[in-house]
Every structure is written in C-alpha cells, then in structure tokens.
Amino acid sequence: MSAAASMTNADPKPNASGAIDTSTPAERHKAEIRRLKRQVAELKRKLKLAEDQIERQTEALAKKDAEIERLEKAIAEQDAEIAALTAALAQKDAEIASLNKTLAEKDATIAGKDAVITALTEQNAAKALEISDYAYVLELGQNRYEGAGDVIRNDERVRRLCAKAINPFRRDIVEGLGIEGETIRPAAVCVYHPFVATAVDAVRGTGIHVAAVSTAFPHGLAPLSTRLQEIEASVRDGADEIDVVIPRGLVLGARWQQLYDEVVAMRAACGESHLKVILGTGDLATLRNVMLASMVSMMAGADFVKTSTGKEAVNATLPVGLAMVRSIRAYYEETGYLIGFKPAGGISTAKGALDWLVLMKEELGRPWLEPDLFRFGASSLLTDIERQLEHHLTGHYSANHRHAMA
C-alpha cells in the first residue's frame, strides 16, 4: 500500500454529529463493544422482565384452569341433580296423568249416575204434576204463613189463616197490653198456588203480603219450564212474593252456573214480585255449600235467601244462619245491595227467636231487624209469642189450644 493511501485511511473522519473523530480504530472498536454490551444488558433486563411476566401469567393461567376445572365439576354435579329431578318430575307427571285418568273415569261414572237420577226425579215430578189442582203438593207438605199458622186444606182455612194474620192476638191480650191502636201483624201469608187468589182477596188493604211457595215445593225437582209456569201463574193471581226452592243436587254437584241460570230465569218470571230463594240447608252437607249457594242466589237476583222448606230433617240452625248472614254482609259490602234473610223451620219459641234477632243485630245491624229484610218462617212461633204475652199479663202460661188459628 502506498504512503498516500495509508495517509488517506489514517485521516480522521467526522462522527455522526459532524465533529471530527480523532479516536483510533481500536478505540472506536472498544466503544462499539461497550455499546453492544449495553444493548445486550438492556436486552437481558427486558428478557428477565418478560420471563417474570410470563411466569406470573402462567401462574394466573394455572389458577384459571383450576377454577375452570372446579366449575366444570360443579356443573357436572348440577347436571346430575337436574337429570335426577327431571326423572323424578317425569315419574310424578306419569302418576298425575294416571290419577287424572282415574278421576276422569270416576267423573264420567258420577255424571252417568247423575243423569240417571235427574231423569228419574224428573219423571217422578212429571207424574206428580199430572195430578190435578196441585193435590200432590198437599200430600207433600203443609201450607204455612210467615209469623203464625196451621195446616191449610181448602179456601175456607186460607181465609181463617188470613183472619188470624190480620188479628194475630186475642182481644183480651191486646186490651191488657194497651195496644189497641197499634198495627201488629205478620209480614206475609204464605200459601200454595191454588190458594193465592183467595189469600189476596182476604188480606186486601191490610198491608199483609201474599207469598206463594212455587217451583214444585218442597223438592224443586219438576222440569224448569214447569216451575217457571207455576211462578208466572202465582204472579198473575196476585202473589207479590214468590218463595222458590232450588234443586239441592245442583249444589251438591257444584253445578253453580246451572243454579245461577235457573235462579235468573225464576227472577225474570217473578216480574215485580219479590223473590225468596229457599236453599234447603239441611240437605247441603257443608257450610261452604251453604255460603256458595247463598252467594250464587244473590248474584242471580234473589231479594231474600231462606234456610229451609221446613220439610228437611234439619232446618234452621244458628251455624247455618251465621254462614248465610255473613254471605249477605259480604255481598252488601261488595255491591251495596241489601238482601233479606229468612230462617225457617224449627223456630217455635219466642226465646229461640231472640237468638236469631241477636244474630241479625250483631252481624248485619239494625236495618236487618225490619220485615223488609228479615222474616221468620215458623208456623208455631206466633202461638208461643201469644202465650208469652198472656203470661206477662197473668203470670200463668196457657195451653196452645187457647190460641187457635182463628
């Protein structure tokens, strides 16, 4: 290599900042090595940081894997429980389906028997209705009036009954009590349809109502069309109150819609006459049935609900009365309509009547002690009231025969 070339290579060169670098190549090599070492050290530091971060992430991932494994195990256990519950539910569903099938079969059997019973009772009622002048009714029971009475067999006895209603107490009792100017009379005279016209004529102008027991009283098993015709006939003859009796089988069979429809039809047949619905509570088995039958009758348009026909084995009782008056109260609170109550049958003494008056006062209030909302349907009650009044005057009880019907 020539001296000129050597001189050229040895000439100092400018560095990156533009200054003349006067260091030797060896020094520059050393500086480059130091720079590279620094870069290596920095890279090692970053690598260590990366390794530490990787280690931390690896630990976090391990924890996540453990948590996932735990959750998967819990899910598997829950799936097993769900499978067991599903199997149990399927078994229960099968049992319920079997029970429903059994109940359906029993319902079908009961419906078939009900149809047979209904057909037989309608046949019996139809045969009874064929007897002229309602003679079958006179065989089934007695005509009674609300407040006092006796058995009625003909028009003359109806007139005597009405005379007793117009003058319920003996003259000596009236004079002894000093009530000659008072008008004390029963609210109504209650008769079968053939005697309605006679009763209307006998009590005309006295303010005493004439009530007709209709709808195949006391059983109520005639066809509905026949029962409605009887109501309409009684209204035409002048009855301003109609006592109807419901078929107890509708209650015992929980056929509430049919009961409602029948009472609605009876209400329409009554026109302007008041409708009193007799439940026949002694045949209804439970107080729940009594409450529901009362509610359905009131919803369908009854002006009064009445306990009994007087022909049942069990007639008016205080537990039944409590159920009925509380249904009246509930209906009044819900609708604002005042419905009357009439216990009938088995109330034969003045002292016994006091229990019912207390019941009405405590459960329904003073308005339900008036005859437009409360009646006794008890033939022998007036006799005992008259006896109690005589005892009050004389200090002695008299025999029933001293207080005859007329």
Which residues belong to the active site? 243, 306, 342
The count of residues in the chain is: 406
52 is written with which tokens? Answer: 């530490």
Question: Is there a contact between 305 and 339 (Cβ–Cβ < 8 Å)?
Answer: yes
Angle at 197 between CA 195 and CA 201, to 5 degrees: 115
234 by DSSP, 3-state: which? helix
What is the C-alpha to C-alpha distance for residues 351 and 372, in angstroms, rounded to an integer?
22
193 contact partners, CB below 8 Å, separation of at least 6: 134, 137, 212, 213, 214, 230, 233, 234, 237
The distance from CA 52 to its chain's CA centroid, rounded to whole angstroms, is 76
Q: Which residues of 60-71 are buried (b: 16+ CB within 10 A; e: fewer)?
A: eeeeeeeeeeee
What is the C-alpha to C-alpha distance for residues 343 and 119, in angstroms, rounded to an integer?
31
Angle at 39 between CA 33 and CA 42, to 5 degrees: 140
DSSP string across 339-366: -EEE-BSS--SHHHHHHHHHHHHHHT-G
Question: Which residue is it, tokens 């079997």?
Answer: 98
